Structure 1
């Protein structure tokens, strides 16, 4: 895998939240283990207190051992969490049906545990798998009814009514799971993005940038940091009001997003200041791209209350390893270069350490 591909993968796949996913998967594994051990414990206790006829107790014990063994094997040999959880829940359902067959079939005291399995499926695996599991649960329940009643076909309507709660439980669980997942995604997005511009906030930028720094050290490749600052925010605020200044910040973010690659990482640094990391390029290579941003801002005034307002940007560029041996040093040099652009008349690009007066 090339450095650029690896860096782009982090941006597109949002690799910085993998730790949170891992924590949720760990919690879900605990839930499945708890359900399995409680179910096995209750089944064995029930068979001890109320001995089953014939070889029922022996078969139930063998089923319990087979379940524990199967769950152990899935944890040892399956790495994909979705596949592992799906198989575990299916095994729990098969085990439950086998136990119910020997403890009263459709009248078994363990039949309500189906609701617990369906709810766990909805919380862990989402809507589609929940509906599939609900269909499997209904089929298993009809199997138990057929085994318990010779007049199964004669009372098909009554039996259908008895499985409606399974379908309702699956549907409600899937809806609640979808709402919870949507809320979690919104919270996650808000924690990683700037709510005004939609760009990364500095928390997510720093995480991604530090990852890129590690990649650059490993492969010996450069990266460049560009600092950009709106030149006339104060004047716009004084003349048009702070709402116009807010629109300027939003417009600047749009200009930046329209002129960078998907693999580049842009963030709002603070106020009207922005930062962009260009992966696998040094300062001279990305200078034309930054100049495009500056020109686009100069050539495209933004509209506020029916009036077009002109605005410009000052930019500074520094790169690793030419301008610093770590991310912090490179950012500092890019910031100094940006302020050099302001001192030299604004609306231009300056390179760190070059002493160049005007690149705009």
Structure 2
């Protein structure tokens, strides 16, 4: 989680619409929607005006018999004409006719009847104001409001000045009916406008939400590589600022890895740009599959990628992850039916060792990448080597080990295992050596930890098993049958590799029986996943393989797992052996181990035996097997064969 997510190809779409054209179209659609709404409301208001006027006219003719009846008839005709205009789509003419008709009719009724004391007529004066507000035209609204005020003012001045006094009539049923009709018309128009306002607010909220989502998507696209879906350089800069602040606070280092594909141009030119794009997407997926959770993978452009590696715990983390990245990209990719290998050159810069600024670190990682490319490609380099000597050493070790595997610079030496009582050779242990030109033999203590940390031990361990079996076969063919070889296995081989199949393949390729091979396991390996390993060891034991526990007593020694696993021998660590003649505490430990092994039917072998006194003490404590310089150091294969011939006492397998 990593923090990137899955890589998918972006959808294929047509050319994007120009933003200005999109805005014009959106505005035109909005105006058209508003025009249709106004027209629909205008029809509704006209319908109410016609119905209301018809009711007022009937009320006047049947109950009142006032002088307003002729004006109501004229108004009814005006409203019906306006309604016809609205159905013809002539909204403006219809609207003006409606407002004018209402103002004129109400003005006449007020002047001829009770003046501003006529509550129904005064309330009816608000109807054109509401209609003009609905129309959304500010000039029309203010004009209508002003005309309504002038009409009311003129009617009131007639009373105030005495030019046209109005007389109050008694309240009758007809007045109540008129008031109810006007109230219903005004109330219905306000209700329609309120509903439109709610819809408008809802639409505005939806538009705002859509705008926010569109803005979010645009911002996301601005920080994503469209081809791979990975963060781009701008996004990586933001990630760096956050992680650098955290690294500074926690006093940890931050890695910037810069990768460039070595043969992308060849693929792109030979298979075409679509194939090149497909390869880049597959490379992105491959990088995501290797990095740790919290690491950020980005595509900078072209065939260049970057990995931001926070929370570096130790110097081993940098070469371990770098080696995984380089190793993963050496595996073939399948593009358009062709198998393509996309190796990479990798440059590394560290924060704060190599700089504090993102641009500076990227530049230095890029410089280191070009050094790696100039060194022969499919390699990695660290910038500013003087400031990162430990990391550089591990990087050199990983590069060297990879080269050693490719060019046969690893070799096995064999140290005899001896029956202390009679001096017979009972077997030997295969010990890995690395012979580097110009440096000679490099001891395992220098490179095995880095190999285990990086996972390269899986490939090295596979080679060790295969070479040990091949050597046993060569000894058999040379007239030295019966030699058994013990091989150390790393816990990493069990966790990352198909160790069972690797062992069977090594035996089959050399045409050996399983009893010629002994596998040395660590105590921690058995403790970590006892259920899983119990089944695995049982299957291998049934084939004839034997097992020993290496460096017994230095780990999580307990009787429980010894009883659960089919182990044949315990190896007493050299730390208990080298001073056994003088250290009574170590003597007690060795005696206890011998007794435990004897009770479980296991043999015991002591390593690191360097003098006869130590051998005699071990024999006294009940340990009958040993290995060490007292008898012989680890020997090359031919020297070991000579040693066996000289001793003439190799125990049969």
1:258 pairs with one of 286, 289, 300: 289
Q: CA contact under 8 A between 1:316 and 1:335: conserved in structure 2?
A: yes
2:329 pairs with one of 276, 284, 297: 297
1:232 lines up with 2:263 in the alignment: yes
Q: Distance in 1 between matches of 2:242 and 2:266?
A: 38
Q: Distance in 2 between matches of 1:175 and 1:359?
A: 62
Q: Distance in 2 between matches of 1:256 and 1:167?
A: 52
1:287 pairs with one of 302, 319, 322: 319
Q: Distance in 1 between matches of 2:253 and 2:217?
A: 34
**Of the two, which has the highest radius of gyration?**
2
- Specify whether residues 283 and 249 from structure 1 end up closer, same or farther in structure 2 by C-alpha distance, changes over 3 A only: farther
Structure with higher helix content? 1
1:182 pairs with one of 209, 213, 231: 213
Which residue matches 2:351?
320
Q: Which secondary structure state, in structure 2, belongs to the residue aligned with residue 319 of structure 1?
A: strand
Q: Distance in 1 between matches of 2:370 and 2:358?
A: 19
Which residue matches 1:206?
237
Q: Distance in 2 between matches of 1:283 and 1:327?
A: 21
Q: Which secondary structure state, in structure 1, belongs to the residue aligned with residue 347 of structure 2?
A: strand
Higher relative contact order (CA closer than 8 Å, sequence separation 6+) = 1
- Specify whether residues 358 and 199 from structure 1 end up closer, same or farther in structure 2 by C-alpha distance, changes over 3 A only: farther
Q: Distance in 2 between matches of 1:262 and 1:177?
A: 36
- Specify whether residues 176 and 324 from structure 1 end up closer, same or farther in structure 2 by C-alpha distance, changes over 3 A only: closer
- Specify whether residues 160 and 269 from structure 1 end up closer, same or farther in structure 2 by C-alpha distance, changes over 3 A only: same
Q: Distance in 1 between matches of 2:250 and 2:333?
A: 41
Deviation track 1:145-175 (CA, whole Å, cap 9, x = no partner) reads xxxx9xx99x999887564324422332233
Deviation at residue 266 of structure 1 after TM alignment: 2.6
Structure with higher strand content? 2
Q: CA contact under 8 A between 2:261 and 2:342: conserved in structure 1?
A: yes
Correspondence list, 1:101-250, <5 A: 163-250=194-281
Correspondence list, 1:57-68, <5 A: none
- Specify whether residues 347 and 274 from structure 1 end up closer, same or farther in structure 2 by C-alpha distance, changes over 3 A only: same
Q: Which secondary structure state, in structure 2, belongs to the residue aligned with residue 299 of structure 1?
A: coil
Deviation track 1:37-66 (CA, whole Å, cap 9, x = no partner) reads xxxxxxxxxxxxxxxxxxxxxxxxxxxxxx
Deviation at residue 347 of structure 1 after TM alignment: 2.8
Which residue matches 1:347?
378
Q: CA contact under 8 A between 1:344 and 1:358: conserved in structure 2?
A: no
- Specify whether residues 156 and 252 from structure 1 end up closer, same or farther in structure 2 by C-alpha distance, changes over 3 A only: same
- Specify whether residues 173 and 182 from structure 1 end up closer, same or farther in structure 2 by C-alpha distance, changes over 3 A only: same
- Specify whether residues 223 and 197 from structure 1 end up closer, same or farther in structure 2 by C-alpha distance, changes over 3 A only: same
Deviation track 1:300-347 (CA, whole Å, cap 9, x = no partner) reads 41322x333232222222322344455445434432332333234433
5+ residue gaps, structure 2: 6-122, 137-179, 386-391, 403-653
Aligned length: 224
Q: CA contact under 8 A between 1:349 and 1:358: conserved in structure 2?
A: no
Q: CA contact under 8 A between 2:368 and 2:381: conserved in structure 1?
A: yes
Which residue matches 2:340?
309
Q: Which secondary structure state, in structure 2, belongs to the residue aligned with residue 200 of structure 1?
A: coil
Q: CA contact under 8 A between 1:350 and 1:358: conserved in structure 2?
A: no
Q: Distance in 2 between matches of 1:249 and 1:275?
A: 13
- Specify whether residues 324 and 335 from structure 1 end up closer, same or farther in structure 2 by C-alpha distance, changes over 3 A only: same
Q: Distance in 1 between matches of 2:350 and 2:326?
A: 19
5+ residue gaps, structure 1: 1-7, 13-103, 116-148
